Amino acid sequence: MDSDLIHNDSFDPEDAYAAEQVEWLLQWNNHLCMESDVAATALKMQLISVNSLKEKLKLKLDQLGEMLGDACSSLEHRSTNKLDDEFQTLKAKLEETQNKIHLLIDRDLELRRTVEQLTHDLQFVTLQKDQLTIERDGMVLKLEEQESSYKGMVAKQDQQIRSMQVIISESQHEICQKEALRRQLLVDLEGQEQVHLQQMEAQRQSLVENNEDSITCSICWVTWDADGDHRVVSLACGHLFGHSCIRNYLMRSESCPICRQAANFLHIRFIFGRHVLPNQTQ
């Protein structure tokens, strides 16, 4: 009966469980990078499980030792041949159990080294993750600063564009006003030209009709010339003078020396016609 009890308490289930745990750890190592936040906790739990398995094996070994002692005591009353057979069987099972325990201890050491390596890898991955996080935060901060600077530049350019549009609009309005003024001035000049031509014609008719004998400058009382500095000219009021005389006079006073009507250099007009120069005949 004791032999059957020892035979039924085999360590194959625990050995398969330990192998399954090691296989699980190896698979867990392949997913370390994607599950770095959960890896440390899983490793610690697995190590606790292995230690628990080790304690169970030691307890089982102690139980087997006790059972072996009890079996030896009970076998003393049996026949020598049967006792030797059972003893050899128990000894073989004990050696097998010890071998399994040593194997599990070796696996435990290997598992510990694997856990240490995985822990080191986890720390390295965590350090890299922290460094990448710092670099990412720095890049995000730099991008935010560049975005803020870009938005400021865009706003400044928009303001400049609006200012330029206002300036262009005002300039176009001013150009339109000046163009209208220029056209009005052209119309006024054309009207003044017509008035001047009419005045010149009236002066010519007046000279022909009333002043045929008046061929002297009323400033210097010298006969004016047909050309040159002392040629005959008139002001807007119609009075005649030598060119050089009236220019010198207008430099001192801006009025006609005869009628005192306002006059300046722009009012000087050259006279072309009959009976305004000496020795001219009809």
- Distance CA(28)–CA(119), nearest Å, equals 12
Kindly write down the DSSP assignment for every residue of 169-224, as one continuous string: HHHHHHHHHHHHHHHHHHHHHHHHHHHHHHHHHHHHHHHHHH-TT--B-TTT--BP
Kindly write down the DSSP assignment for every residue of 17-70, as one continuous string: HHHHHHHHHHHHHHTTTTTHHHHHHHHHHHHHHHHHHHHHHHHHHHHHHHHHHH
- Distance CA(104)–CA(15), nearest Å, equals 8
pLDDT value for 15: 62
Residue 216 φ/ψ, nearest 5 degrees: -115, 150
pLDDT value for 11: 45
Kindly report the CATH number that applies to the domain delimited by 212-282. Answer: 3.30.40.10
Q: Using an 8 Å Cβ cutoff, are 224 and 215 in contact?
A: yes
Domain ranges in the chain? 2-147, 212-282
Residues 6 or more apart whose CB falls under 8 angstroms from that of 233 comprise 240, 241, 242, 243, 246, 268, 269, 270, 271
Residues of the chain with pLDDT under 50: 1-11, 212-213, 274-275, 278-282
Task: Please identify which residue in the block is written with the tokens 């499980």.
Answer: 49
- Distance CA(52)–CA(60), nearest Å, equals 12
- Distance CA(85)–CA(243), nearest Å, equals 164
pLDDT value for 143: 87
DSSP state of 34: T
- Distance CA(275)–CA(226), nearest Å, equals 11
Length of the chain (residues): 282
Sheet containing 232-234: give its strands across: 240-242, 232-234, 269-270
SS3 238: coil
Q: Using an 8 Å Cβ cutoff, are 104 and 53 in contact?
A: yes
- Distance CA(148)–CA(167), nearest Å, equals 28
pLDDT value for 10: 47
In terms of phi and psi (left: phi > 0; alpha: psi -120 to 50; beta: otherwise), the region of 260 is left
- Distance CA(276)–CA(282), nearest Å, equals 11
- Distance CA(193)–CA(191), nearest Å, equals 5
The highest-level CATH class for domain 2-147 is: mainly alpha
pLDDT value for 277: 52
pLDDT value for 281: 40
pLDDT value for 282: 38
Q: Using an 8 Å Cβ cutoff, are 43 and 120 in contact?
A: no
